[in-house]
Structures are given as structure tokens and as C-alpha cells.
Chains A and B, each alone.
Chain A
């Protein structure tokens, strides 16, 4: 049934067949039932693999611990345990760590977006004479494994140049290094490279200086790539464990990714799973919001003759 409606939607939306199998082929019983069954099977398998663990976590978060241990795949044999969620929020103090994670993620995201867009704008649109050299240097940093940078980065954070004040136990210790992402700069530079130059030239003649060109023209045209970088930035920050563990020694400032493994041994399984589910919610909601950026093409409709 799923496969059948899927096929019909494809044919209807475009007015003609979009897939490899033509409408005429779809009308043949062998194709209709054979391929339909295969599609249904594939879809079910993808749902089980992709959504299964999340759904199990959601179920277990509101299942009594005893039930989860004895009947892990059963559906609420002895009712719900909503207290897991409230306990996780109050007793385990997930709320605090949740907030810490949000602050860290938003700060890292802002830092990455600011650095990547301004650097990309400079390298791609303003194009100073040494742009190629800088782009080359940026690319070379992509070949350095992140783990190799841990020690020098830590030393920089403990003894930052100019500031002479350690950033240990401060969120700046996470926000500042997060901005130095060569991958984001390269990604955004390549996107900016593909924006039509004529639009920038039209804007310059209309009266735009570099700042106005960046804010009023380039950024609004770059929503798809900003969405992509935002998802990468938020997810990376949300699940980062090692760096926050190193630079945030105060438990009250640590994010969920650092605190959850620490509290595991002292927390009841049901409450712990509820805490884990809460920690998963934001990335899932964030992805649902930004996923349109992945699926939608560039916002250049009608800007230039294609």
C-alpha cells in the first residue's frame, strides 16, 4: 500500500514518470506487485534501522526500569513511568546540563557562522590578491588530524595570546576554537564562488559597499548553505565529548555529553534513559527545522538567466 501510493505520488506530481520505471511498466502486474513489495520491504527496513533506536529510547524513557531490564522489547507491560522524566529533570539536574549544552551549542554555532561567512565572503567575493594562498593554507589544515591539535590548542586556551587570562572553565574555551573550522570556510567559500557575480556587480553599482553587500545580498542568497553549516555546527557541538571534558572541569558548567557518562553509575536505568532521550530531542528538532535547507536548491530563482 505504501509502495503503491508512493508510485502514484511520483507520477502525479510531475505529470509524467520521474523514476526509472515508466507508468506503463507500473501497470504490469508483475512489476506492480514485485517492485511494490520490494519497495515496502526496503522502507520498513529503513524505518527499523533509522528510527528503531530512537523510538526504543523514547519508549524506555517512560517505562519502569524493571520492565526495561526484564522485557526490553515489550510495550509498557506494567504501565508508564512518567516519573522517570521528572526525576531526570529535577534529581539528576538534567535541566542544568541541558541549558549548558544549549549555551555551548548556540555560542559555537554563532562563532562558526560568523567566521565561516565572513572568511568565505572575503576569499570568494572580495578576493584580495593573497586569497589563493590563504585558501591553500586553509585546505592544508584539513589534512591535520584533530587529535594532533588537542595539546597545542589546550596550551593556547590555558595561555591565550594577548588576553593573558586562562579560558579554562569558561565557555569561550569552546566557542573560540569552534570558530576556527577550515571545513566550514571552504564549504562556504565554494558556495559563494557559485553565486552569480553579476548580482554582486549590480549591487555595487546600486550603491553597496562590502558590508552592505555581505548583509543584504550575499547572506540572504546563502540560506541553503547556512542551514547546512548550522546543522553540522549544532550537531558537532551537541555531541562533542572530549574537548568540553578537557576545558570544563566544573561539573556545573559541563554539557550533557560530558555529564551523562559521569552520572550513569549513580542513576537508575529508567531515569538515565529519560535523561538521554531529553538530550536527543534538540538535535532531532533542529534537524527537522533545517532539513529543508538540505532538500531545497539554491535560492536563486529568477535572479539570472539560467
Chain B
């Protein structure tokens, strides 16, 4: 368990591509930090720089109190779980788990004990003598996780470990990873492009775009107080609706108003609100709620309404959004200027 610090870390590839720009970030001991962002935002590059798989172009990375810029991957005391499992195909599950310990010259008794414990924790005891090819996708990913935890490293680095699993298995494995991380209290950096994964797993989330850190905070902070339009629209599903403020009568010229789908109400509201008429384009029935796609002028909005609300596609309806739930952004910079239009 160790703190990980990025001090002005940059990565510039030989073709001039700036993958990461002056990243300043501290991940506390035992913290579960999620790097999230769209493809090409630099999240995986940042993770690989911690692992030692990418050279650092500028700045310093510290694991504990050691600057690890020039330290080889094997001496950084980190374990990595790859998106594609990266299991050794010619070794059995037990050999895959034990490989890192053997290289670190642990004695046989200790290796057997740790492998058994990891296998028990991940429900792999019956598969120890099998080769990876004989395992299902979920089992292979559990072996990859086991290979990381068996080493008891200072930090876990996970690069989209669930993206190859089907939806049900992803939810189950997500919970298993969380339980493991809480039990072991090992500092973890988890990379994903899936904001649901980020919101449900991270103690804190770092949102990145084009190599630049956009915001760092708890899931609640990111959801309720996004730093800019990018974070506001990236976090949350369906994403926050952004319209010019004056269009719904809030803010001033040059300001954007943002509100979450669940804050749009059908008809009037009991609290101070803005009201607008919009055309219902599509209604998606989800069982416990419905997603209503609206057209307000040239803007597309999404409302999350209870199933009791009766709306028909093609009809024009009146909607309300509480002022306290509307965030205001500067339209030029995209930065948040207020998280509530009620003030």
C-alpha cells in the first residue's frame, strides 16, 4: 500500500502527439482512483507510465516516497490487470498465479499458500491445473486479477479489466473487484471509458480529455458540481442537457444552462422553476421509469420521468426544471460559473 503522486507528468510521443499534459494528481494510500475519459484522452498512457511501460517525457511519478521515472517495471512493486487478460498460455492457472512470486524468489511453501488463498478468494480452486484456453472469459479475467493480488503489491493498476466481459458478468466482477480492494486496502488506479463503472467503483474519479485532467473528485462531486461542460455531459447517463441559458430564461447571454434528465418534471413544479414547452420525439419505456427525448427549438433534451407520467410521441408538452438544479456554464470557456441558478 502506497501513495502515488503525479507531479507535472507529461507524455509526448516521437510524432509530437501530446498524450498527457502536466498531470498533477495524488492518489492516497488505499484509495480506489478511477481514470475516466473518452478514447485517446490519455488515461491508459498515464496508467502505463505508473507501471513503467511508457517512458515519462516530463515531470515525476512517485510511488510512496520513491521517484520511479527511471525504475524498471519489475522494481516498482505494482501489479497490472490488462484489458485482454494477458495470461501466459503455456502455463496452468496455478503457474500463472505463482510466476511473479517465483521470480521474486519466494519459498515454495509461501508461494503455494498465497496461490491457494488467491484461488479461494476468486473461486478458482477447481481450475488451478487448467490452462487458460480451458477457461471462460470471466474465469480468465479472475486469473488475471489473482495474478495481481497474489503478489501483494504496493498498488494495483487496472486497464479496463471488465470491458471484454458480458453485461451480467461485468456487474458481478465489478462487485468482486470492489470487495477485494476494500479487503486488501491496496492503492488502486482503475482505467475505464465507462462512466457507470467509474461512478460505482471509484473513491475518487479523475476525468480526462485530450491528455488534460478536467476534474478530480468524488462521484457525487462530479455529478452534482461538474467543473465544465465536458465533465457535465460525460458523467451521468443519459447525459446532462445543455442549452443556451436565455432559451429557458436563466442566466445571461453567453451562458449555458445544464440540467440532469431526472430534474425535468412534466407540467408545473412546486419549487421555483423555469418552464418551457417542448415536443416529445421518442419515449423509451424502461419498466420503472421512462426516458423521454424532447426537442426544444434546435436543442435535443432527455427527461427521465416516472412511468405514471403520460406522454405521447409527437405531442407538445409543458415541462419544468427547478432553478436549484440548473448549473450555469460560460459558453466560451465551458467552465462552470454556478451550480445552481436559484442564487
Residues on A facing B (Cβ under 8 Å): 196, 198-199, 201-209, 212, 216-217, 220-221, 299-305
Contacts and interface: CB of A to CB of B under 8 A. Distances in A.
B86 A199 contact: yes
A153 to B, nearest CB: 38
A301 B136 CA distance: 11
Contacts of A208: 74, 103
Nearest to A302: B132
B89 A206 contact: no
A303 B51 CA distance: 20
5 nearest A-B residue pairs (beta carbon) = A301-B133, A302-B132, A207-B103, A302-B133, A303-B89
Contacts of B43: none
B204 interface: no
Contacts of B132: 301-303
Contacts of B89: 199, 221, 299-303
Nearest to B132: A302
Interface string B42-82: 00000000011100000000000000000011101011101
A27 B137 CA distance: 39
A205 B140 CA distance: 18
Nearest to B133: A301
B134 interface: yes
Contacts of A201: 51, 53, 73, 80, 82, 86
A127 B147 CA distance: 27
Interface of B: 51-53, 72-74, 76, 78-80, 82-90, 99-100, 103-104, 131-135, 137, 140, 147, 151, 164
Contacts of B73: 201, 204-205
B131 A206 contact: no
Q: What DSSP secondary structure best describes chain B's contact surface?
A: loop
B91 to A, nearest CB: 8
Contacts of B72: 204
Contacts of A209: 74
Contacts of A199: 86-89
Nearest to B53: A201
A263 to B, nearest CB: 46
A305 B137 contact: yes
B46 to A, nearest CB: 15
Contacts of B76: 205
A206 B86 contact: no
Given A205-B78, A207-B103, A301 B131 contact: yes
Contact of B53 (A204, A216, A301): A204
Contact of A302 (B52, B79, B140): B140
6 contacts: A217-B88, A301-B132, A302-B140, A304-B85, A305-B85, A305-B140
Contacts of B90: 220-221, 299
A300 to B, nearest CB: 5
Nearest to A220: B90
Contacts of A207: 74, 100, 103-104
Given A205-B73, A205-B79, A207-B103, A304 B88 contact: no
Contacts of A198: 82-86
A130 to B, nearest CB: 15
Contacts of A302: 85, 87, 89, 131-135, 140
Given A201-B82, A204-B74, A207-B74, A303 B88 contact: yes
Among A196, A217, A299, A304, residue most surrounded by chain B Cβ atoms (within 10 Å): A304
Interface centre among A203, A206, A304, A305 (most CB of B within 10 A): A206
Given A302-B134, A302-B135, A305-B137, A205 B51 contact: yes
A196 to B, nearest CB: 7
A203 B85 contact: no
Given A301-B131, A305-B164, A206 B87 contact: no
B99 to A, nearest CB: 6
B256 to A, nearest CB: 40
B53 to A, nearest CB: 5
Contacts of A212: 103
